[in-house]
């Protein structure tokens, strides 16, 4: 949530700062061009109006870029869409300037609707929005690239942890102790626990050489793991699953979720006298699987 707010703040800072700089340069250029005559107040008002509407039009453009998921497109598909869009935006911007330029008497009606003037200034605005597009896509490309590097490093770290914890002796010891305690008092539940432990060990052997596994298979292992841990923690461990049905066929690194859940129990639930909650939630965002694991405690 904080990251999203920071990104929004950065976006608006760059938007307002960038278009303010554009207006400042335009006004400065007008002052230089006017020379001793001085630039008119009407011209300054118009340039400020122009910058505000450029900001609004580019923000609307950004909305549709995200809505239509252009950031995930390859160059061959993206470039034609951007070119068509910036020409359309250039034409839109030209006609948005007419309601202010005519009352300020900067142009006559004949000049405002002259085809050559429309084409020339629309092309000018199209170039401006093309440069905006280039900056926006380049920034997002590097942001996604850096994010992918961090995710790759994190995945490697999880893989390393998996190798250390695939047959975690402490977990197996605790599970066997829990099962032994159940044998006499609740044979049916002890049988279920044995099946859960067998499933976890079998999965550990099967997925050892796999790079990816289906999310629904990984989730089943996690549920078996939590089932065994609930024997040990009893009423202290509560679980909640909020799973998007469309997430089940996505591929994830094996034992990734189990490792995170183990950490949640080890560093969160086990340290709380009253216990706590482990929540696993999935959603689909931009055709990607988002997995959230929350636990009580720190």
Distance of CA 171 to the CA centre of its chain: 34
Assess whether 140 and 221 both reside in one domain: no
Residues 49 and 181 in one domain: no
- Its sign, for the CA torsion 41, 44, 48, 53, is positive
Phi-psi region at 290: left, alpha or beta (left = phi > 0; alpha = psi -120 to 50): beta
Q: Hey, which residues does 242 pair with through a beta bridge?
A: 281
Name the residue range of residue 286's domain: 169-295
HSE-CB of 143 using CA atoms within 13 angstroms: 12
At residue 159, the pLDDT reads 63
Provide the pLDDT for residue 208.
Answer: 63
Q: What is the pLDDT of residue 123?
A: 97
- What pTM was estimated for this model as a whole? 0.55
238, 119: one domain = no
Residues 24, 68: one domain? Answer: yes
Q: Are residues 183 and 258 in the same domain?
A: yes
Question: Taking the chain (298 residues) in consecutive chunks of 10 residues, what is each chunk's mean pLDDT?
Answer: 71 95 92 75 91 96 93 91 97 93 85 91 96 95 84 70 57 70 72 78 69 86 84 83 90 84 81 84 88 81
Question: Residue 163's pLDDT is what?
Answer: 53
pLDDT value at residue 269: 81
Q: What is the pLDDT of residue 270?
A: 76
């Amino acid at each position: 949530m904080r990251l999203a707010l920071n990104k929004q703040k950065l976006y608006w800072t760059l938007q307002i700062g960038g278009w303010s700089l554009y207006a400042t340069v335009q006004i400065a250029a007008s002052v230089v061009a006017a020379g001793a005559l001085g630039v008119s107040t009407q011209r300054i008002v118009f340039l400020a109006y122009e910058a505000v509407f450029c900001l609004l039009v580019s923000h609307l453009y950004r909305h549709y870029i995200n809505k239509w998921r252009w950031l995930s497109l390859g160059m061959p598909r993206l470039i034609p869409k951007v070119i068509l869009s910036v020409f359309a935006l250039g034409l839109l911007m030209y006609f948005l300037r007419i309601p202010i330029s005519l009352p300020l008497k900067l142009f006559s009606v004949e000049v405002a609707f002259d085809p050559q003037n429309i084409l020339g200034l629309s092309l000018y605005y199209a170039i401006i929005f093309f440069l905006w597009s280039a900056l926006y896509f380049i920034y997002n490309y590097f942001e996604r690239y850096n994010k992918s590097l961090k995710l790759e490093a994190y995945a490697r770290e999880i893989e390393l942890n998996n190798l250390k914890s695939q047959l975690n002796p402490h977990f197996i010891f605790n599970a066997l102790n829990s099962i032994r305690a159940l044998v006499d008092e609740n044979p049916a539940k002890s049988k279920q626990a044995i099946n859960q432990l067998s499933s976890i060990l079998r999965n550990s052997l099967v997925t050892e050489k796999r790079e990816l596994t289906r999310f629904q298979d990984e989730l089943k292992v996690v549920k078996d793991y939590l089932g065994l841990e609930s024997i040990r923690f009893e009423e202290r461990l509560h679980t909640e699953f909020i799973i998007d049905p469309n997430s089940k066929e996505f591929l994830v690194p094996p034992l990734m979720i189990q490792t995170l859940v183990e950490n949640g129990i080890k560093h969160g639930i086990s340290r709380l006298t009253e216990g706590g909650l482990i929540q696993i939630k999935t959603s689909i965002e931009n055709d990607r699987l988002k997995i959230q694991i929350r636990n009580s405690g720190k």
